[in-house]
Structure 1
Amino acid sequence: MKPILTFLALASIGAAAPNIQSTQDGASKRAAWPNGPFVTWGRWIHDASGKNLTYAGTNWPGHADVMIPEGLQYQSIETIVQKVKSLGMNAIRLTFAIQMVDEIYANGGNDITIQKAFVQALGQTNGTRVLNQVLAKNPLFNASTTRLQVFDAVAEELHRQQIYLHLDNHISKGMWCCSSTDGNSWWGDTYFSTANWVRGLSYMANHGKSWPALTSLGLRNEPREPTNNPALSRSSYNWQAWYTFMRQGAAAVHAANPAPLIFLSGLNFDTYLTPVVQGTALTPGTGRFSVTDFEGYADKLVLELHNYENGIGSCDTLKGNLDRNGFQALQQGSSGVVNVFPVMMTEFGFAMDSSTWRGVYASCLAEYLPALKAGWTIWVLAGSYYVRSGIQDYDEDWGLLNHDWSAWRSQGYVDGALRGLVRETLS
């Protein structure tokens, strides 16, 4: 087996590209990317030159049982990133679980190996088999490579191919997400320790200082009512508690790494942020969202929303829902808007077959998002998962890629709509 590349060695993968300003135009542009850190100005995200920018990308899960970015038994990191780049996309939302950081702390500051991770999640026989497939496709790794070193390698490849890395805390316990009964729903739920969450955000934000591609970090995926924990639901599932936790997480990220943008997600599986946008009371209290509560980094805040209204019957209805749920924050001067922010749809998706993309939902979003110049990351890149809900090598029929991550699952959607959505969003 080849010796493991340390992160310093991984960073040298792009060493042929200049890392200082050059008089040559191409080298200058390469040296400047991503021209950060990014900040917000009203409804826009700005790069360090003050230029408006928007994300158009997809989700790459790394938060599930193995806690390693998916698909590496089928394709190399370089090949997967090339697939994303070929669509013209400029962003990846890469997910992680707090459990990975918890285990690093429990292990004296050392991450576990990918060999152990695969065997723990898939069993000795299947774990070893999948590990060997990963090593064959990604020969820069060996059995002693750690999970976090895989994340490092993904981050370096995104930098090399100039794709923004949005790191997302998807869940606490590494598993398929999301359910209101999975123990990961709300702060204080079975697996959702607030202290460990803050610690995990801080750890990953600090570690991300070594990732030039890291431009933003999402505090938590899909906060939702813990329906299996009625006492917790009654005591704290509300906007007042949400605000306390979000301020706590944002402060931890910024203290650990002041460069990334910080994404705030809403209630009910991150489907609405109306009180934030409209400046109404954060119930059951009377306090209101104020950027002064984020002193020193108010220009780092971005709102993120999800939408899966796949059965919607009317585009006008969908647009109205999206506006009311938070996208009106992009529309300065719109009635009822008190707080103007950049807003991103970090998840939407549907079955990747021959016809679903022609329906009202997908067609409407393909019109709505570019018209607003709203950023987005479609769910999901993954054609399959190492394991999902106990099923190994689970096929993802919503995946942009097919089962072995070698081709697009729905070439019709990619050519008929997705490339255009990327182009129109970024134009």
Structure 2
Amino acid sequence: MMSSGLRFTLVSLLALGGISSFSWASPLKVDIDARADSWPYGPLVTSGRDMKNARGDNVVYAGTNWPGHGEVMIPDGLQYQSIESIVSKIKSVGMNAIRLTYAIQMIDEIYSNNGKDTTVKDSFTKALGQTNGPKVYSQFLAKNPSFNDSTTRLQVFDAVAAECAKQKVFVHLDNHMSKAAWCCSTNDGNSWFGDRDFNVENWTRGLSYMANHGKDWPALTSMSLRNELRKPDSNPTLSGQSYNWRDWYTNIKKGTSAINSANPDLLIFLSGLDFDTYVTPVVQGTAFTPGSAKFSTADFEGYANKLVLEIHNYQNSANNCNNLKNSLYNSGFQALHADDSKAVNVFPVLLTEFGFDMTGNAWRGTYATCIAEYLAEQKAGWFIWVISGSYYIRSGRQDFEETWGLLKHDWSDWRSPAYVEGGLKPLVKATAQG
């Protein structure tokens, strides 16, 4: 083991450029790797049902979704509040993670523009029009004065990630859509691999691009493959021939390979079918019909300990907690239980979307209280939908009010202080780790 003094000297020289190159023996490299010596103590890996950091501690995400996949293609809310204030709001209740969404269209446009990203100024105008675009852009600059007319979309993502690193908030990147727009519908052309706007090659290229770009984000610890895969009803031929677990597995392997090859440090989240409401065949090791292949770690050689399962749940009409818990268990959380003989494959499982109206007392109802109780019992990670008080644009309507948002329309304060105190904070306290 290297002495602490020598270790400090060498690391300092490297940081200051005093040593241009150095070849470490692998045991020594692990010892002095700065990533393992400072938050987030990465890279993260999985061990059975748990996500763990390089120190062997469990890591459990307890966070919220922050959309950036809409037509403007930057994180929402920045015309109302600064990045620092939004991240501070998230951190203030103990949440330790964000699920930051993006659209593949952003990367496609970079490639079609010889590697050059679009400016935020142009993106606002294109998405919101010649009148409203410049107006909202001016508000964006007023709240975020470090940006200017040359700032690009990805530079805003960079700034969000940097602020998350500063405040020790994990960043999980989520590919929400291919074509930038509100999600999700079975008729939106983004539903399934090969759908009208879901080009598989562009998708894997986009995953690779963002994984590589994210190497400069210390807070980035994981990425997902795709949000809410669903039946492509606008394409009956594709639906009939390809919407199945066999083709899911074929494409999932492409996506995981794209991410891992570009950035082997990242955890990779696998989502299921029917709007990501279940991943049961993966958990139980049953055949990926109509084929006969089953999930095998051999198909993910070298990074099988980087795979995590995610599901969504919006059973807001639930009136029986036991039934809801059974549904969650059978849809994916069974993978947390190595003692269950049907859980052939054990993984960490996260509820990456759930939510409810914040304008009333829904948080006191069966659905919200049962979800919170179950996540606490399972010590499972989660991202509530959604932090947004409003969106730049949603489904054609600008400055769209989000009544499910944790924040008010102008993102200034909590929409439901009663829920934050009586529901959200206790859930964070019962689950968050790392």
Q: Is the shorter-chain TM-score for this pair beyond 0.5, marking a shared fold? A: yes
- 1:165 maps to 2:171: yes
- 1:210 maps to 2:216: yes
Name which of 282, 286, 294 aligns with 2:292. 286
- 1:196 maps to 2:171: no
| Cross-structure match for 1:275 | 281
Name which of 178, 188, 191 aligns with 1:185. 191
- 1:426 maps to 2:395: no
| Cross-structure match for 1:266 | 272
Quote the offset at 1:144 in angstroms: 1.4
| Cross-structure match for 2:19 | none
CA distance in 1, matches of 2:35, 2:313: 35
- 1:322 maps to 2:347: no
CA distance in 2, matches of 1:382, 1:397: 9
SS state at 2:240 partner: helix
Per-residue CA deviation, residues 292-317 of structure 1 (Å, 9 max, x unaligned), is 11000000000000000000110000
Q: Residue 36 of structure 2 contacts residue 42 of structure 2 at CA under 8 Å; is this kept in 1?
A: no
The one-letter code sitting in structure 2 at the alignment partner of 1:417 is G
- 1:136 maps to 2:110: no
SS state at 2:275 partner: helix
CA distance in 2, matches of 1:260, 1:47: 11
Q: Residue 58 of structure 1 contacts residue 381 of structure 1 at CA under 8 Å; is this kept in 2?
A: yes
| Cross-structure match for 1:108 | 114
Quote the offset at 1:31 in angstroms: 5.7
The one-letter code sitting in structure 2 at the alignment partner of 1:104 is I
The one-letter code sitting in structure 2 at the alignment partner of 1:42 is G
The one-letter code sitting in structure 2 at the alignment partner of 1:305 is I
Distance change >3 Å, CA 83–CA 174, structure 1 → 2: same
Q: Residue 131 of structure 1 contacts residue 143 of structure 1 at CA under 8 Å; is this kept in 2?
A: no
Name which of 84, 93, 96 aligns with 1:87. 93
- 1:415 maps to 2:434: no
CA distance in 2, matches of 1:287, 1:62: 36
- 1:118 maps to 2:135: no
Q: Residue 354 of structure 1 contacts residue 413 of structure 1 at CA under 8 Å; is this kept in 2?
A: no
| Cross-structure match for 2:4 | none
- 1:51 maps to 2:89: no
SS state at 1:313 partner: coil
| Cross-structure match for 1:175 | 181
CA distance in 2, matches of 1:418, 1:115: 36
| Cross-structure match for 1:16 | none
SS state at 2:338 partner: coil
- 1:254 maps to 2:260: yes
Q: Which stretch has the larger CA shift, 85-94 or 328-337?
A: 328-337
CA distance in 1, matches of 2:81, 2:174: 22
SS state at 1:285 partner: coil
| Cross-structure match for 2:310 | 304
SS state at 2:274 partner: helix
| Cross-structure match for 2:41 | 35
CA distance in 2, matches of 1:77, 1:230: 43
Quote the offset at 1:143 in angstroms: 1.6
The one-letter code sitting in structure 2 at the alignment partner of 1:393 is D
SS state at 1:346 partner: strand
Per-residue CA deviation, residues 191-210 of structure 1 (Å, 9 max, x unaligned), is 00000000000000000000
Identity in percent: 63
Quote the offset at 1:426 in angstroms: 2.5
SS state at 1:304 partner: strand
The one-letter code sitting in structure 1 at the alignment partner of 2:135 is R
CA distance in 2, matches of 1:279, 1:31: 37
Per-residue CA deviation, residues 273-327 of structure 1 (Å, 9 max, x unaligned), is 0000000010000110011110000000000000000001100000011111110
CA distance in 1, matches of 2:103, 2:354: 20
The one-letter code sitting in structure 2 at the alignment partner of 1:258 is P
Distance change >3 Å, CA 270–CA 375, structure 1 → 2: same
| Cross-structure match for 1:241 | 247
SS state at 1:102 partner: helix
Q: Residue 36 of structure 2 contacts residue 43 of structure 2 at CA under 8 Å; is this kept in 1?
A: no
SS state at 1:270 partner: coil
Q: Residue 354 of structure 1 contacts residue 412 of structure 1 at CA under 8 Å; is this kept in 2?
A: no
CA distance in 1, matches of 2:37, 2:381: 25
In structure 2, list runs of 5 or more residues that go unmatched: 1-14, 17-33
CA distance in 2, matches of 1:378, 1:385: 16
| Cross-structure match for 2:402 | 396
The one-letter code sitting in structure 2 at the alignment partner of 1:277 is V
CA distance in 2, matches of 1:43, 1:31: 24
Per-residue CA deviation, residues 69-100 of structure 1 (Å, 9 max, x unaligned), is 00000000000000000010110000000000
The one-letter code sitting in structure 2 at the alignment partner of 1:82 is S
| Cross-structure match for 2:359 | 353
TM-score, normalised to structure 2's length?
0.91
TM-score, normalised to structure 1's length?
0.93
Q: How do 1:222-233 residues align onto structure 2 when only pairs under 5 Å count?
A: 222-233=228-239
Distance change >3 Å, CA 365–CA 35, structure 1 → 2: same
Quote the offset at 1:354 in angstroms: 3.2
CA distance in 2, matches of 1:79, 1:30: 28
Q: Residue 35 of structure 2 contacts residue 42 of structure 2 at CA under 8 Å; is this kept in 1?
A: no
SS state at 2:77 partner: coil
CA distance in 2, matches of 1:426, 1:135: 34
In structure 1, list runs of 5 or more residues that go unmatched: 1-18, 21-27
Give the CA RMSD over aligned residues: 1.3
CA distance in 2, matches of 1:320, 1:230: 33
CA distance in 2, matches of 1:137, 1:109: 28
Quote the offset at 1:332 in angstroms: 1.2
The one-letter code sitting in structure 2 at the alignment partner of 1:289 is F
Distance change >3 Å, CA 301–CA 132, structure 1 → 2: same
